[in-house]
Amino acid sequence: MEYASRGEVMLGISPEIVLFGLGVGILIGLTGIGGGSLMTPLLIIVLGIHPVVAVGTDLTYGAITKTLGGYKHLRKGTVDRGVSKWLAYGGVPGALIGVLLVDRLHKAYGKSFDQVLIGCIAGALVIVASVVLVRTLLLSHLAEQERESFHFTRRAGVAAIVLGFVLGLILGMTSVGSGALIGVAMIVIFKLTPQRVAGSSVFLAAMLLWVAGLAQVVSGNVDYGLVGNILIGSMPGVWIGAHFVDRVPDQALRVTLGAVLLGSALAMVNNAGGKMPVAVIFGAPIAVGVIGFVLHLRARVGRPDSAIPLTSTAGGTTGKTVLAAGKPTIATGPTGIVAGKPGLTASEGS
């Protein structure tokens, strides 16, 4: 495939890129995923942007976009600062080294190195997507282990620094992983809730992307016209996604994370020369999403506690069943069953 020259700059506004930026921005705000995993393949395959410029452009736009999302999540309280801090200790130097390493390897091996690296990342994303989907669709009971924050010991802190370095290195070299790989690490290793994963991954990614993006700017690998087009759509998209993140059910976010990761993996396989049909790239994540929500609905219907027992006083004229804190309260009266507001009796909720 012939790529555009590294010196060419996009002029004017492209509605297609703006709309794609909007969609990716919403995904970033909701899940913390969608930047490099989707945007970089689009720039290379659809627009024919030189791979090095595509990576540099994606890192630069991603830094600005995820800064907006990270600020929004920070204000909403969906960021685990401890996890983000320890991963950043290793991720920041890793991202910088990644950019410098790619520059050296490109000079030594040229385009052949691009295909090898993209193939490795594609394989990694396939594995990651498979793990997340198996956990989401077949091991949903593990959601009970999710937590709002992670308590660090000295050993856990050192491990987080090493993990952050690896994630930053991959990000700096390919622009992929600021959402996908960081998000998976926060799900599988730190077992954070989906909302905390979305907030913490965006917050951490912003720090890593600024380091890698500035290094790419210095290297001259950024198309500023292209960055502007993407930002027009992605900035409001991230704000919209982050605004609604705590209004989306946990299971819906888990399924969305898995589906987006699968789409990212298939796109990267196609980018690596796997000749993946477009219908499969878009159809498979949609099918996974539908299956996930169907399984979720079936689980809710078959749940033993779905049948709420009712009690009443003699004569059946008054009475109420008080449930756990935060759950809807059901009361019985002369006219039948009345549902009150969470945590209140029927009379208090009316």
Banded model confidence at residue 250, pLDDT cuts 50, 70, 90? low
Every domain of the chain and the residues it spans: 15-302, 309-349
Ramachandran area for residue 151 (φ above 0: left; ψ -120 to 50: alpha; else beta): beta
The yes-or-no verdict on residue 6 having pLDDT over 60 is no
Q: Of 65 and 305, which is predicted with more confidence?
A: 65
The yes-or-no verdict on residue 323 having pLDDT over 50 is no
Query: For residues 113 and 105, is the Cβ–Cβ distance under 8 A?
Result: yes
* C-alpha span between 308 and 321 (Å, rounded): 9
Tell me the mean pLDDT in the region 306-326: 43
* C-alpha span between 129 and 328 (Å, rounded): 36
- Return the top range by mean pLDDT from 132-141, 293-302, 311-320: 293-302
Query: For residues 142 and 135, is the Cβ–Cβ distance under 8 A?
Result: yes
Predicted confidence at residue 208, as pLDDT, reads 94
* C-alpha span between 191 and 123 (Å, rounded): 23
Least confident among 178-182, 213-217, 272-276, 312-316: 312-316
SS3 content of the chain, % helix, strand, coil (to 5): 75, 5, 25
Q: What is the pLDDT of residues 115-157, one digit of tens each?
A: 776 777 777 778 777 777 776 777 666 556 667 778 788 888 8
Percent residues over pLDDT 90 in the chain: 14
E strands in 229-329: 320-321
Structure tokens at 126: 């396939």
Amino acid symbol at 306: S
Predicted confidence at residue 7, as pLDDT, reads 53
What DSSP assignment string belongs to 215-274? HHHHHT---HHHHHHHHHHHHHHHHHHHHTGGGS-HHHHHHHHHHHHHHHHHHHHIIIII
The yes-or-no verdict on residue 93 having pLDDT over 90 is yes
The crossing angle, in degrees rounded to 10, of helices 250-269 and 194-219 is 30
Banded model confidence at residue 166, pLDDT cuts 50, 70, 90? very high
Percent residues over pLDDT 70 in the chain: 77
